[in-house]
Amino acid sequence: MGRQYDTLKRRGVEVLAIGGSDVAAARRVQEAFRSPFPILADPDRTVYARYGFGRFALVIQRSGTVLIGRDGRLRMVHRTAQPQKSLAQRQLADAVAALEA
Protein backbone atom coordinates (compact mmCIF):
# COMPACT_ATOMS: atom_id res chain seq x y z
CA MET A 1 0.00 0.00 0.00
CA GLY A 2 2.89 2.35 0.72
CA ARG A 3 4.04 2.24 -2.91
CA GLN A 4 0.57 3.26 -4.04
CA TYR A 5 -0.01 5.89 -1.38
CA ASP A 6 0.75 8.99 -3.48
CA THR A 7 -1.53 7.79 -6.28
CA LEU A 8 -4.32 7.06 -3.83
CA LYS A 9 -3.99 10.47 -2.15
CA ARG A 10 -4.21 12.23 -5.53
CA ARG A 11 -7.49 10.39 -6.10
CA GLY A 12 -8.86 11.54 -2.75
CA VAL A 13 -8.35 8.22 -0.93
CA GLU A 14 -7.24 8.28 2.69
CA VAL A 15 -5.17 5.31 3.84
CA LEU A 16 -5.10 4.10 7.43
CA ALA A 17 -3.48 0.94 8.76
CA ILE A 18 -4.76 -0.67 11.93
CA GLY A 19 -2.56 -2.80 14.15
CA GLY A 20 -3.80 -5.23 16.75
CA SER A 21 -1.66 -3.93 19.57
CA ASP A 22 -1.20 -0.79 21.66
CA VAL A 23 -0.37 2.75 20.55
CA ALA A 24 3.35 2.40 21.35
CA ALA A 25 3.62 -0.72 19.17
CA ALA A 26 1.73 0.98 16.32
CA ARG A 27 4.14 3.91 16.53
CA ARG A 28 7.16 1.56 16.41
CA VAL A 29 5.79 -0.19 13.32
CA GLN A 30 5.13 3.13 11.61
CA GLU A 31 8.67 4.30 12.30
CA ALA A 32 10.27 0.97 11.38
CA PHE A 33 8.52 0.81 8.02
CA ARG A 34 8.57 4.59 7.48
CA SER A 35 4.89 4.41 6.67
CA PRO A 36 3.60 7.51 4.88
CA PHE A 37 0.11 6.89 6.31
CA PRO A 38 -1.03 6.60 9.92
CA ILE A 39 -0.96 3.26 11.71
CA LEU A 40 -3.66 3.12 14.35
CA ALA A 41 -3.92 0.85 17.38
CA ASP A 42 -6.73 -1.65 17.97
CA PRO A 43 -5.57 -3.46 21.13
CA ASP A 44 -8.88 -5.18 21.82
CA ARG A 45 -9.21 -6.02 18.08
CA THR A 46 -12.73 -4.63 17.77
CA VAL A 47 -12.11 -3.30 14.26
CA TYR A 48 -10.39 -6.52 13.22
CA ALA A 49 -13.42 -8.55 14.29
CA ARG A 50 -15.85 -6.20 12.56
CA TYR A 51 -14.25 -6.84 9.17
CA GLY A 52 -13.53 -10.55 9.63
CA PHE A 53 -9.84 -10.17 10.36
CA GLY A 54 -8.02 -11.71 13.26
CA ARG A 55 -6.49 -15.04 14.13
CA PHE A 56 -7.73 -18.37 12.91
CA ALA A 57 -6.35 -21.83 13.65
CA LEU A 58 -5.04 -20.10 16.80
CA VAL A 59 -1.83 -18.84 15.20
CA ILE A 60 -2.47 -17.49 11.69
CA GLN A 61 -3.24 -13.77 11.47
CA ARG A 62 -5.72 -12.69 8.81
CA SER A 63 -5.43 -9.08 7.66
CA GLY A 64 -6.48 -7.22 4.56
CA THR A 65 -7.73 -4.11 2.83
CA VAL A 66 -11.05 -2.36 3.33
CA LEU A 67 -12.44 0.41 1.12
CA ILE A 68 -15.19 2.59 2.48
CA GLY A 69 -16.93 5.12 0.26
CA ARG A 70 -17.30 8.79 1.11
CA ASP A 71 -20.91 7.96 1.95
CA GLY A 72 -19.63 5.67 4.73
CA ARG A 73 -20.72 2.47 2.99
CA LEU A 74 -18.43 -0.53 2.83
CA ARG A 75 -17.35 -1.00 -0.79
CA MET A 76 -14.73 -3.76 -0.68
CA VAL A 77 -13.03 -6.13 1.75
CA HIS A 78 -9.97 -8.11 0.73
CA ARG A 79 -8.79 -10.62 3.36
CA THR A 80 -5.49 -12.51 3.35
CA ALA A 81 -3.38 -14.57 5.71
CA GLN A 82 -0.31 -13.74 3.62
CA PRO A 83 0.57 -10.02 3.76
CA GLN A 84 2.97 -10.39 0.83
CA LYS A 85 -0.09 -11.33 -1.24
CA SER A 86 -2.04 -8.25 -0.33
CA LEU A 87 -4.32 -6.51 -2.77
CA ALA A 88 -2.72 -6.14 -6.19
CA GLN A 89 -2.28 -2.66 -7.65
CA ARG A 90 -4.74 -3.34 -10.48
CA GLN A 91 -7.42 -4.63 -8.09
CA LEU A 92 -7.01 -1.58 -5.90
CA ALA A 93 -7.10 0.82 -8.85
CA ASP A 94 -10.30 -0.81 -10.11
CA ALA A 95 -11.91 -0.63 -6.67
CA VAL A 96 -10.99 3.05 -6.27
CA ALA A 97 -12.30 3.83 -9.76
CA ALA A 98 -15.59 2.16 -8.81
CA LEU A 99 -15.80 4.47 -5.78
CA GLU A 100 -15.47 7.48 -8.07
CA ALA A 101 -18.15 6.27 -10.48
pLDDT one-digit tens code per residue, 25-77: 989 988 998 888 888 888 998 988 888 887 777 777 777 777 777 778 877 78
For 78, list phi and psi in degrees, rounded to 5. -120, 115
pTM over 0.85: no
Domain 2-100 has CATH 3.40.30.10: yes
Cβ burial, residue 45 (10 Å; 0-12/13-18/19+): middle
CA distance 58 to 101: 40
